[in-house]
Amino acid sequence: MRSVISQLSLHKLEVFCMVAELESVSRAAERLGLAQPVVSAHIKAMSEKLGTPLTQRNGRRITLTEEGRRVLKWAQEVTVRTRELERELVESKSGLRGTASVGASMTIGSFILPGMISTFRKRHPGAQISVHVASPASVMEAVQSGGCDFAFTILDPRHDLAGVQIERLRDEKLMLVAAESSDISGNRIAPGDLSKHWFVTAQTGTPRRELEEAALRSHGVSRGRIAMEFGHAEAIKQAVRAGAGLAFLFESSVRDELASGLLREIETPGMSLAVPAYLVRREGKRLNQYQTRLMEELTAAMRSGDMT
């Protein structure tokens, strides 16, 4: 006799995971392109087969019971591993066609990888590549869970690195920039004078902010005048361009603005700031030939600094 769990289809597990994520049957139905009664029927069928309620209503939200949380952890593992296996198996005889999921922290995923992946795809037009751009912690979790095949990211010093392999690829230079129309005279500020100026920076408590502050402290610099905080480099750039203050931004994220004259670099004599970027893989993760080629070519481009 087959076990009850073995009778649960992958589709039902995916529906259950979506309801748990969105805490709503109606929103899950909309996201999955299904009728709401169908989603409700799937959840009911799972509960009946397992012999225990998996969800409960909490006001307008659908939350999980204790048993539901246990089932969710298992269901996520099954669905993620299934998608991972599908990516590994979708491969032509040459090994140069297939799918891959790449994780990336904000700046790397927004300003560095797009050009590199576009170049790769021109050489291998059958490529189907998904890039998961998120916080370093989220990227690391995606690698550990199998949601991403590998990732390029800065590291959150608080994150557990158990079960992953990391390889340092390059140092991302942090460059001090100001609006071209800024009233700062000249293109130099002594490190000791930085505290006199207003800054736009990443949000307090984020790895990006903590790494920046640690780099500044290593040079004996402390800032107290923070005008604005944002969650993405693009928003920081826009605020600087509008005259809100100075900002330390990765060189890769401001190349176009420096070239066009929208921003200008402010030198800080005797002070050089950089944050390391890493290749991250799950230990024991098997990549097919196509995914391996993609990882190797992106890794080589990251090391060389070639963004095209």
CATH classification at residue 210: 3.40.190.10
- Same domain for 80 and 155, yes or no, is no
| Same domain as 182, residue 52 | no
What's the residue count for the chain? Answer: 308
Residues 179 and 254 placed together within one structural domain of the fold: yes
The residue from 58, 87, 116 where one domain ends is 87
Which residues in the chain show pLDDT less than 50? 1-2, 92-94
30, 160, 227, 269 from 203: Cα distances, Å: 33, 22, 11, 26
Residue 103, pLDDT score = 95
Q: Are strands 55-58 and 247-250 parallel, antiparallel or unpaired?
A: unpaired
d(CA 246, CA 3): 62
pLDDT tens, 115-156? Answer: 999 999 888 887 789 999 999 989 998 898 888 999 999 987
Model pTM score: 0.70
* Separation of alpha carbons 261 and 47, rounded Å: 61
- Please tell me the distance from the alpha carbon of residue 18 to that of residue 42, in angstroms, as a whole number: 12
Shortest CA distance to 91 belongs to which of 124, 65, 66, 140?
Answer: 124
- 252 & 264 share domain: yes
Let me know whether 149 and 27 are in one domain.
no
Residues 162 and 281 in one domain: yes
Q: Are residues 201 and 80 in the same domain?
A: no
CATH number at residue 68: 1.10.10.10
* 154 lies in the same domain as 77: no
For 31, the domain range is: 5-87
Query: Going along the chain, which residue ranges are E strands?
Result: 55-58, 61-64, 98-105, 127-134, 150-153, 164-179, 199-202, 226-230, 247-250, 263-265, 273-282
Residues 100 and 240 in one domain: no
* Residues 96 and 39 both lie in one domain: no
Q: Which of 87, 119, 152 is the last residue of a domain?
A: 87
109 and 247 part of one domain: no
pLDDT at residue 1, as a whole number: 34
Q: Report the domain count for the chain.
A: 3
- Of the three residues 59, 87, 115, the one that is the final residue of a domain is 87
At residue 307, the pLDDT reads: 62
Q: Are residues 163 and 282 in the same domain?
A: yes
Model confidence over 151-198: pLDDT tens digits? 999 987 777 788 899 999 999 999 999 999 888 888 899 998 998 899
